[in-house]
Each structure stands twice: as structure tokens, then as C-alpha cells.
């Protein structure tokens, strides 16, 4: 798959899951986004670019902290953005705008924003440093750039069993792209390669107990994992689900099914001399 085909596949995957993405099983996305206002330490009047905004979870977590500011949220998937816009409308927030855009080629002027955020987005592209440099180019000198990525070990044995089964069904099961930025060192390296100054990483646990194996299926079916099993026809998918949930059920504890999710939030500063990206 070339980069263009990969993007099409990602867009199709997120368009397909958009209406299901804001579900209880995936609430770690909200837990992670809730940490952002403190990381940015907003004054309240900033213009913030939110990249790979999805259904607006980070944008909606930041917007109430920007009473005189704005969030401009961009994503490749119109389906995800439609959900974001509906949620924003329902919440009465008037300071968020949404635009469909590829994060590797954003049509904003350089230094147009005071700060930029990208939660669980950069690892979808092949060229992560170039993309982060492009995001940073949209931020004024001295502004903050923040990313959130999964920490190594996230999803634990559940994801390992899932990927093994994907492979057993003859489907491509490449190592998850997020493993490329799953350690503190990898995130520091990424920020340095993107020309960002003073990178700092904070690690947080945002996991919880799922009720049962069916709840784990919601994690798979309602977000990015879903793209790996999209080629299965109805019968094979039903068989896959049954077999996978049987193996996952064996990991149940008396309290529930542990979903271990760690996140690494990295903050850097746009230096005065960063070249245009």
C-alpha cells in the first residue's frame, strides 16, 4: 500500500466507525483529553490548532478553557468531523470550528496559531517528524506543541491476541504504527527531529476495567483496530468474533477485564528559528 492508499484506508476506517467512536469502552480518549488544559496552561485567549481531531474529544476538552480564544479542529475523515460538529453544537460551544484537511498538507498560513495539539494522530503517517514539523510551522514562535501517544504495553494481552488472530485469518497484521512513539525517548527524539525545543514527556495511566469480553469487542469495532478486520465477510467476521472473545474471556478477573492504557503526553516549544514546514 502506498501512502495515498494508506490515507484512503484510514479515512474509510474512521468514516465507518465515526458514529460508534464516542462509546463507553473507548472512554480512555476522554480521560487523555481531560489532561490537556493543564498541559497547555491556557491564558484563555489563545487560538489552538487541533490536528487529527476525530470526533472532537480534545477540542471539546480544551474549548471551555479558551473563553476568548478558538479551537480550529482538522481531520481527514468527514464522518468523524460530522460527529464533532454535532457534539459541539449540542454543547453550545461557539469557539470551535472544524475543517476537513490532511495533517501533512494543512492550508493554514505559517504561525497562524498560538498553539497546536495532536492526540493519537501523528503515528498514522509514515513521515512523523516531517508531519510534526509541518504542524509546528503553523504555530507562532514561542507557542506550545503537544502530542498524546499510547505508551508501550497499552492494550496488553488483549491486542496481542487480536493481532495474532488477524494474522491467523491470513490478514495483514503489521506492528501497530503507534509503537514507533511508545516510549519517552522516541517522543523526545520525534520532537527534536521536528525542530521543537524543550521537549518534556509526562506519563499517565488512563485505563480501566471492562465489563466483559463483549466490551473489548467495542474497543476493536469502534476505532482503528476495526480497519484490520474490514476485509472479512459476514460469516468469517462472526467466527472471528466468537473465537477471539472466547480467548479473551480467559483473561477475565473477578473485577472485570483489565484494559491497560498508558499515555505519553509530550510538550515542546516552537523555537524562533524553526524553518517553514
Ligand X SMILES: C[S@@+](CC[C@H](N)C(=O)[O-])C[C@H]1O[C@@H](n2cnc3c(N)ncnc32)[C@H](O)[C@@H]1O
* Residues binding ligand X (CB under 6 A): 7, 10, 14, 29, 33, 52-54, 57-58, 75-77, 80, 102-104, 119-121, 124-125, 223-224
CB of 62 to ligand X, least distance (A): 11
| Nearest CA-CA partner of 119 in 173, 40, 44 | 40
> Nearer to ligand X by C-beta: 70 or 77?
77
| Nearest CA-CA partner of 211 in 58, 17, 33, 23 | 23
Q: What is the 3-state secondary structure (H, E, C) of 95-116?
A: CEEEEECCCCCCCCCCCCEEEE
CB of 188 to ligand X, least distance (A): 21
CB of 130 to ligand X, least distance (A): 12
Q: Mapping DSSP to helix (H, G, I), strand (E, B) and coil, where does residue 146 land?
A: strand
Q: Which residues pair with 98 in a beta bridge?
A: 73
CB of 57 to ligand X, least distance (A): 4
> Nearer to ligand X by C-beta: 73 or 201?
73
Q: Which residues contact 191 (CB under 8 A, 6 or more apart)?
A: 132, 145, 199, 266, 268
> Nearer to ligand X by C-beta: 42 or 169?
42
> Nearer to ligand X by C-beta: 69 or 224?
224
Amino acid at each position: 500500500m502506498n501512502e495515498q492508499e494508506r490515507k484512503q484506508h484510514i479515512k474509510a476506517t474512521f468514516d465507518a466507525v465515526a458514529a460508534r467512536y464516542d462509546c463507553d469502552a473507548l472512554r480512555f480518549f476522554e480521560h487523555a483529553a481531560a489532561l490537556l488544559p493543564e498541559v497547555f496552561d491556557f491564558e484563555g485567549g489563545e487560538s489552538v490548532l487541533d490536528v487529527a481531531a476525530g470526533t472532537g474529544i480534545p477540542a471539546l476538552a480544551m474549548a471551555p478553557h479558551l473563553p476568548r480564544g478558538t479551537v480550529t479542529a482538522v481531520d481527514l475523515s468527514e464522518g468523524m468531523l460530522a460527529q464533532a460538529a454535532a457534539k459541539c453544537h449540542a454543547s453550545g460551544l461557539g469557539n470551535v470550528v472544524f475543517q476537513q484537511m490532511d495533517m501533512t498538507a494543512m492550508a493554514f498560513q505559517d504561525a497562524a496559531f498560538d498553539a497546536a495539539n495532536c492526540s493519537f494522530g501523528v503515528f498514522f503517517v509514515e513521515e512523523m517528524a516531517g508531519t510534526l514539523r509541518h504542524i509546528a510551522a503553523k504555530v507562532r514562535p514561542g507557542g506550545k506543541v503537544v502530542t498524546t501517544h499510547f505508551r508501550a504495553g497499552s492494550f496488553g494481552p488483549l491486542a496481542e491476541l487480536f493481532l495474532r488472530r488477524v494474522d491467523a485469518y491470513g490478514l495483514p497484521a503489521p506492528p501497530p504504527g503507534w509503537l514507533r512513539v511508545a516510549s519517552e525517548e522516541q517522543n523526545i527524539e520525534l520532537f527534536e527531529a521536528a525542530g521543537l525545543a524543550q521537549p518534556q514527556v509526562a506519563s499517565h495511566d488512563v485505563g480501566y476495567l471492562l465489563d466483559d469480553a463483549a466490551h473489548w469487542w467495542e474497543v476493536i469495532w469502534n476505532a482503528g483496530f476495526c480497519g484490520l478486520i474490514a476485509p472479512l465477510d459476514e460469516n468469517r467476521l462472526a467466527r472471528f468474533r466468537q473465537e477471539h472473545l472466547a480467548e479473551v474471556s480467559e483473561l477475565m478477573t473477578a473485577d472485570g477485564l483489565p484494559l491497560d492504557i498508558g499515555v505519553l503526553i509530550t510538550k515542546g516549544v516552537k523555537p524562533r528559528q524553526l524553518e517553514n514546514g
